[in-house]
Homo-oligomer: A and B are copies of this chain.
Amino acid sequence: MTAYSPHKPLPIAHVPQWDFETDIAIIGFGATGASAAIEARKAGADVMLFERSSGSGGASALSGGEIYIGGGTDAQLAAGFADTVEDFTTYLKLASGPCVDEAKCELYGREALSHYQWLKDQGVPYRGNFLPGKVIEPTDDSTLIWSGSEAAAPFYKHAKPAPRGHVIQHMGWGGGRPLVDILEARARDLGTEIHVDARAVALITDGDRIAGAVVRIDNQDRFVRAHKGVVLATGGFVFNEAMRRKYCPESFRVNSPIGDKDDGIGIELGASVGGDPIHMDQFFTTCPWTIPEDQAYGVFVNVAGQRFINEDCYHGRVSRCAVDQPGGKVYLLLDSAHFTQPLDLAGITIAGTGETWEEVEAELEMPAGTLSATMHFYNTHAREGHDPLFDKQVPILKPLDQSPFVALECNFETSYFSFFTLGGLKTSADAEVLDRGGSPIPGLYAAGRCTSGLPAWGHGYSSGLSLADCTFFGRQAGRRAAA
């Protein structure tokens, strides 16, 4: 056995034999790989899919099965939200902040409604109803929720807010698994040849063109000839500590990676043939502080007793900004009208209580006139319905003045701050992997979290952006590779 390396492609002249031959080899069987397979098969290409685990899923199957879709869906219209392509696209761009890929935002902005129809056509069920409130995933089988910062500053000033988190109809949390199951069934029905327990270890090059991949199956190297191309659909690198240390060191502030063996292999494979990893420092993180929902009415302060965010924006945006604060922790302040015991899972602890905010401040050993001053200022203005510092909006904006009061500690090390990486290969809106000069690498396509896509910026993340990216640009990859 030769030791093949993800850092070094194998020239076709060195391939000892072809064990598999196909038009398109897809690496990874989450929502991205399944969507790519469906479209490539529909376009008439032979498709083999190689997945390192024993079955489909990936990080997609661990998600809520929520896809960020706007522009005026049936569910949006039924709930009274006349969303437009323009507002939707504007929001997508804002959510990517300084990392924006305008071409991807514009394409997805225009195509999201037809993508929604495509999902339905594959058999993904949508009840079509809207569940109001601050929820992370529906606890019933509702299928439209607020899943971002649309109604919060600064976003609402630039794009008319609408809920855009479209969740597969599924009772309770965990819609990702049934979503992938439906896409898998469709890919199989269409004749995708699926190989599990098959781990890609290197790409094969024919001059400048990607001609296939080396895959480890049953501890043997197998050589896959892909006449039309290879699609990388392997997810991010949240489980690769060495990559995180080099490319995303700030992520070590938080503690709970989410994913399924996401070791960055697709990024490394792409880079080995000249691919261009970008925005590798970006990551999503969230601490489930809005559960129970009453806690969503809380106010965050840092260890200096200062607020730092309008707390009505997306829980992950609040959490990401929290992790920027000094001191290793932030406090979530609540009054007795809003406090309920935090979720056990969250690891959020009670750090201080008091009959007054001054007592809470003293119990936290903060200097007099810090936290208490922050809360008096906040309450004074909240009673008048506005937040002059951060523009938090009613109805989430409420005075917290019913004693006793409590400070909950969200500790970056010991509370549950889940996270995953957002950086990856630079791809065109057609899912071609681009080299550092901006040219497509012939025969190489990628989508999902091994690329930098719609959810490019940790501070702007909204739920459903990643699955939108996986399914939509996964389809682009399959179509383009088959073309």
The distance from the CB of A368 to the nearest CB of chain B, in whole angstroms, is 9
The distance from the CB of A440 to the nearest CB of chain B, in whole angstroms, is 13
A272 to B437, CA, bound (A): 10
Contact B247 A304 (CB under 8 A): no
The distance from the CB of A465 to the nearest CB of chain B, in whole angstroms, is 18
Quick check: is A135 within 8 A (CB to CB) of the other chain?
no
A435 to B9, CA, bound (A): 13
Quick check: is A274 within 8 A (CB to CB) of the other chain?
yes
A1-56 residues at the B interface, CB under 8 angstroms: 5-8
Contact B436 A278 (CB under 8 A): no
Quick check: is A393 within 8 A (CB to CB) of the other chain?
no
* 15 contacting pairs across A/B (C-beta < 8 A): A7-B435, A7-B436, A7-B437, A8-B274, A97-B249, A98-B250, A99-B249, A246-B276, A246-B426, A271-B436, A304-B390, A367-B388, A369-B377, A370-B389, A373-B373
Point out residues on A near B: beta carbons under 8 Å.
5-8, 97-99, 246-247, 249-250, 252-253, 268, 271-272, 274, 276, 278-281, 304-307, 324, 367, 369-370, 373, 377, 381, 388-390, 426, 435-437
Contacts of A435 in B (CB 8 A): 7
Closest to A423 in B: B281
Contact A367 B390 (CB under 8 A): no
Contact of A389 among B5, B304, B437 (CB under 8 A): B304
Contact A252 B98 (CB under 8 A): yes
Contacts of A370 in B (CB 8 A): 377, 388-389
Contact A246 B278 (CB under 8 A): yes
The distance from the CB of A101 to the nearest CB of chain B, in whole angstroms, is 10
